[in-house]
Amino acid sequence: MTRQLPGIGISNRRQFTKTVMAASAAVASTPLILGAQDKSGSREPIVGQGEHTYRCIHHWGRDSLPSRCDYGNASHGVTIDKSGMIYITHTGRPDSVYVFDPSGRFIKSIAGFHAVKNADRSTASGHGIDIREENGEEFLYLSAANSNMSFAKVSLDGEIVWQKAKQDVFADAGFAGQKQVRFRPTNASFRPDGGYYLGDGYGSNYLYQYDAKDQFVRAIGGTGQADGQFRTPHGQWLDDRDGTPKLVVADRANERLQWFDMDGNHLRTQGGFLFPADIDSQGDLLLVPDLHARITILDGSNEPIAQLGDDEAWRKRVLDKSENMRASPEKWLPGRFVHPHDACFDSDGNIFVTEWVRGGRVTKLVKV
Average pLDDT by stretches of 10, the chain with 368 residues: 35 45 40 41 83 97 96 96 97 92 97 54 73 97 91 93 94 86 95 98 97 97 98 98 98 98 98 97 98 98 97 98 98 98 98 98 98
Short-list 205, 199, 198, CA closest to 182 = 205
Nearest to 359 by CA among 336, 328, 319: 328
Residue 267 counted as domain residue: yes
Instruction: Please list, in sequence order, all residues whose beta carbon lies within 8 angstroms of the beta carbon of residue 67, skipping any fewer than 6 positions away.
Output: 10, 13, 14
40/44 Cα distance (integer angstroms): 8
Residue 205 in any domain: the answer is yes
Query: 329 in a domain, yes or no?
Result: yes
Q: Provide the domain limits for residue 115.
A: 10-367
Name the domain count of the chain: 1
Q: What are phi and psi of 340, to 5 degrees?
A: -60, 125
In CATH, what number is assigned to the domain containing residue 309?
2.120.10.30
Q: Is residue 3 part of a domain?
A: no
Tell me which residue of 220, 188, 191, 192 sits closest to 204, measured CA to CA. 220
Q: Is 266 exposed, middle or buried (0-12, 13-18, 19+ CB in 10 A)?
A: middle
Phi, psi for 163 (deg, rounded to 5): -145, 145
Tell which residue, 180, 194, 75, has the closest CA to residue 141. 194
SS3 343: strand
Residue 298 in any domain: the answer is yes
CA distances from 63 to 17, 27, 53, 106, 117 (A): 9, 19, 25, 9, 36
Q: Which residues pair with 199 in a beta bridge?
A: 187, 207
Contact 276, 289 (CB under 8 A): yes
Scored b (16 or more CB within 10 A) or e, 98-113 reads bbbeeebebeebbbbb
9 SS3 class? coil
Residue 114 pLDDT: 53
Supply the pTM of this predicted model: 0.87
What are the φ/ψ torsions at residue 68 (nearest 5 degrees)?
-80, -10
CA dist., res. 270 & res. 250, Å (int): 10
SS3 109: strand
Q: Going by C-beta distance under 8 Å and a sequence separation of 6 or more, which residues neighbour residue 260?
A: 220, 228, 246, 247, 248, 249, 266, 267
Q: What is the Rg, in whole angstroms, of the alpha carbon atoms belonging to the chain? A: 19
Specify the DSSP element, H or E, that contains 21.
helix 10-28
Is 4 part of any domain?
no
CA distance to 18, 196, 269, 296, 320, per residue, from 353 (Å): 21, 24, 25, 12, 22
Nearest to 269 by CA among 232, 227, 306, 221: 227
Q: What is the dihedral of CA 326, 331, 332, 335, to 10 degrees?
A: -150
Residues 231 and 250: beta-carbon distance below 8 Å = no
Q: What's the rounded Cα separation, in Å, for the pair 96 and 229?
A: 31
Integer angstrom CA distances of residue 5 from 29, 358, 361, 367: 32, 8, 16, 34
